[in-house]
Amino acid sequence: MDILQIVTITEKIFSVWGYPLIFFGSLIETSPLGWLVPGGAILVVAGYFSSGFQTLPLIPIIIWGTLGTWGAFLTSYFLGSKTGYWMVEKFHQENNAKFAKSLFLKHGGIILTTSMLSNLTRFWVAYVAGVEKYNFLRFNLSAFIASLSWVSLLVLLGYFTGYEMENLKKVTEKAGVFSWIFLAIALSVIFVTVKIEKRNHRLEEPMP
């Protein structure tokens, strides 16, 4: 089977099951079982087909992906509010939960949004927010922003890749050099903030 056949088969699958794949792929990837489903890859592929093959419209892809990720965050929050640290112990995620709590208590809503963009902390930050009874409306807004940002980034990556490879350079130039500089700075701030907090975090602090 050559690459063209693989692309054709994949396109047919997305034309029939695209939206359920996008929704459940995004939802499961955000959960502790995310390693089972390549949700990020599904979003990139969906964006690719949206551009080069017009299999699915771009906006509905982003909407369904956002709903899946957002739903996972809300589920995590409610699980935390109802079960305490039971899931943390069940999945042996004490270190990630302690780190998530440290970020959450020190930085609140700002780090809540940015840390939910990270595969390693996103579920547990939302879970700890539920345990700590963080204001639901504020959490909901942070979860939505994080979901929309993450999904849009991956879908647009696939979209621009499918937008004729030879024209990719022109598309990048049209986006404006300053927008790319801003994106690089924003990602750097997120990375440095999380790295510093993780270095300063003390695992010997007891879990309440």
Confirm whether 15 is domain-assigned.
yes
Taking the C-alpha atoms of residue 94 and residue 106, their distance in angstroms, rounded to an integer, is 18
Please tell me the predicted confidence (pLDDT) of residue 150.
Answer: 87
- What separation in angstroms does the CA of 22 have from each of 13, 39, 72, 86? 12, 7, 13, 29
Residue span of the structural domain in which 68 resides: 3-200
Please tell me the predicted confidence (pLDDT) of residue 20.
Answer: 92
Say how many CA atoms lie within 13 Å of 39 toward its Cβ. 30
Number of domains composing the chain: 1
Cβ pair 80, 123 in contact under 8 A: no
Taking the C-alpha atoms of residue 76 and residue 87, their distance in angstroms, rounded to an integer, is 10
Confirm whether 206 is domain-assigned.
no
Cβ pair 76, 126 in contact under 8 A: yes
Q: How many helices (H) and strands (E) does the chain have?
A: 10, 0
Confirm whether 208 is domain-assigned.
no
Kindly give the confidence (pLDDT) of every residue in the chain, 208 residues in length, as a single tens digit, with 9 standing for 90 and above: 556 676 677 778 888 888 999 999 989 888 877 777 778 888 888 888 887 666 788 899 999 999 999 999 999 899 988 888 887 777 777 776 777 777 666 666 666 676 666 666 678 888 888 888 888 898 888 889 888 988 998 888 888 777 654 454 455 455 555 555 555 665 565 555 555 555 555 444 444 4
Confirm whether 139 is domain-assigned.
yes
Confirm whether 207 is domain-assigned.
no
Confirm whether 119 is domain-assigned.
yes
Please tell me the predicted confidence (pLDDT) of residue 203.
Answer: 42
Please tell me the predicted confidence (pLDDT) of residue 166.
Answer: 42
Confirm whether 205 is domain-assigned.
no
The reported pTM is 0.71
Confirm whether 47 is domain-assigned.
yes
Tokens found for residue 56: 């699915």
